[in-house]
C-alpha cells in the first residue's frame, strides 16, 4: 500500500470509531449496485449518461415492454383483454426475434405463454361448451 492509501484507511478507521457512519440515510438497506460488467469499459460512461437521461436502447425497451405485458396478463381478469395481451406478447417476441441475427430462445417465455393460452377461454368457447360444440 502506498502512503495515501494508508492515510485514507487510518482516517476511515478513526471515523468508524467516532461513529461518523452511524445513522446514515439508507442504513440497513441493501445497496443498489449497477451491473455494467457486460458493457465494454470504453462505453460504460456513455451508457450511464444515456441511462441517467432516461434513454433505453431499443432491446431493453422491448424487454421492459414484454415484462409489462406479462405482468398485465398475470393480473388480468377479462378474457378478451388477456387474448389481446397474448397477441401483443406474441408480436413483441417476434419483433425481438426479427431484430436478432439468430433465433430467439423462447424457453423463458414459452412456458408462461402456454400457461396463459391454457387459462384463457376464447369468447364463444365457454358459452358453447368448447370449440365446435353448440
- Would residue 56 count as lying in a domain? yes
Identify whether the C-beta of residue 30 lies closer than 8 Å to the C-beta of residue 38: no
- Would residue 11 count as lying in a domain? no
pTM of the model: 0.43
- Would residue 134 count as lying in a domain? no
Distance CA 106, CA 98 (A): 13
Averaged pLDDT, 55-62: 75
Convert the pLDDT of each residue in 28-49 to its tens digit.
Answer: 888 777 777 777 788 888 888 8
Domain total of the chain: 1
Which residues form the domain of 62?
Answer: 39-118
- Would residue 114 count as lying in a domain? yes
| 13 has pLDDT over 90 | yes
Distance CA 113, CA 104 (A): 15
Identify whether the C-beta of residue 69 lies closer than 8 Å to the C-beta of residue 82: no
- Would residue 6 count as lying in a domain? no
- Would residue 84 count as lying in a domain? yes
Percentage of residues in the chain with pLDDT exceeding 70? 72
Convert the pLDDT of each residue in 86-113 to its tens digit.
Answer: 888 888 888 777 776 655 556 656 666 6
Identify whether the C-beta of residue 82 lies closer than 8 Å to the C-beta of residue 70: no
- Would residue 46 count as lying in a domain? yes
Amino acid at each position: 500500500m502506498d502512503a495515501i492509501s494508508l492515510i485514507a484507511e487510518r482516517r476511515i478507521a478513526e471515523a468508524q470509531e467516532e461513529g461518523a457512519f452511524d445513522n446514515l440515510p439508507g442504513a440497513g438497506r441493501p445497496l443498489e449496485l449497477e451491473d455494467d460488467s457486460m458493457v465494454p469499459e470504453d462505453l460504460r460512461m456513455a451508457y450511464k449518461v444515456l441511462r441517467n437521461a432516461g434513454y433505453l436502447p431499443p432491446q431493453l425497451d422491448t424487454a421492459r415492454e414484454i415484462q409489462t405485458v406479462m405482468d398485465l396478463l398475470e393480473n388480468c381478469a377479462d378474457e378478451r383483454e388477456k387474448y389481446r395481451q397474448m397477441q401483443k406478447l406474441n408480436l413483441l417476441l417476434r419483433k425481438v426475434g426479427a431484430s436478432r441475427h439468430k433465433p430467439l430462445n423462447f424457453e423463458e417465455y414459452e412456458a408462461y405463454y402456454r400457461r396463459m393460452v391454457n387459462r384463457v377461454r376464447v369468447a364463444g368457447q365457454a358459452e358453447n361448451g368448447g370449440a365446435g360444440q353448440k
